[in-house]
Amino acid sequence: MMKERLDKFLSSQTALSRKEAQKAIKEKRVLLNGTVARAADTKVDTESDTVSLDGQPLTYQQYVYYMMDKPEGVVSATKDREERTALDLLPPELRRDGLFPAGRLDKDTTGLLLITDDGDLAHRMLSPKKHVKKRYIATLDREPDDSIASAFEAGIVLGDGTVCKSGQAEALGDRRVAAVISEGKYHQVKRMFAALGYHVEALRRVQIGGLALDEGLKPGEVRVLTAEEAQRVFD
């Protein structure tokens, strides 16, 4: 059995802030077990109590997981004073307190971005010990030569002397290369190709572990994942 304050419950399960949740309670818009809730500090049993807001029942979810096809020009951050963030693209009905991008993509990089409020999953996914693989499609400034696969497999030395772990690279034609890495160094994929004499003109992440981007999504669109789907990042 898990109990938490009513205003906290509302802010975690809806797009309302704590203050907005408290206001909704004062305005008698919230029902607890079929009766009007009176106080923000009322304890809610998340397993057995029923809560509704404006007549709509709320189903308790401890954590949520969203797959986004991040578009170019959007930053992977929770807030930014100047730039549009991935969280800004979420439709109102999917917003709730505590959401953050689990692993970042550069502003000009597109593709798979996992948004969640599950800190434990994000920590494990980003931990170097887990060796979670990420697959990218890079468009280069010219066709790659035949040595690119062996260079990735051997472990590329970056311009600053950093040695990358063994990865994979496969030429796809039309100047595109599928690159798989298990690290998350700053601008790593771009720097790896730069160390080999290539410039990355476009970069798209298409897979994290066993979780592949839904190519049916349009740039900026989101799909809700089940907890089981989110766990595929560890496959």
Any long-range contacts for 148-154 (C-beta under 8 Å, 24+ apart)? 148/177, 148/196, 151/196, 152/179, 152/192
In which residue are the tokens 């290539």 written?
198
In the numeric block, which tokens belong to residue 75? 């930053």
**Owner of token pair 């997981």:** 65
Residue 46 φ then ψ, to 5°: -65, -15
C-alpha 166, offset from chain centre: 25
Q: Is 214 among the catalytic positions?
A: no
Q: Single out the catalytic residue among 45, 80, 97, 106.
A: 106
How many alpha carbons lie under 13 Å from residue 206 in its C-beta half-sphere?
Answer: 13
Neighbours of 62 (CB within 10 A): 11
Cβ-contact 170, 152 below 8 angstroms: no
Take residue 168 and report the two structure tokens written for it.
């994979």
Residues that are catalytic: 106
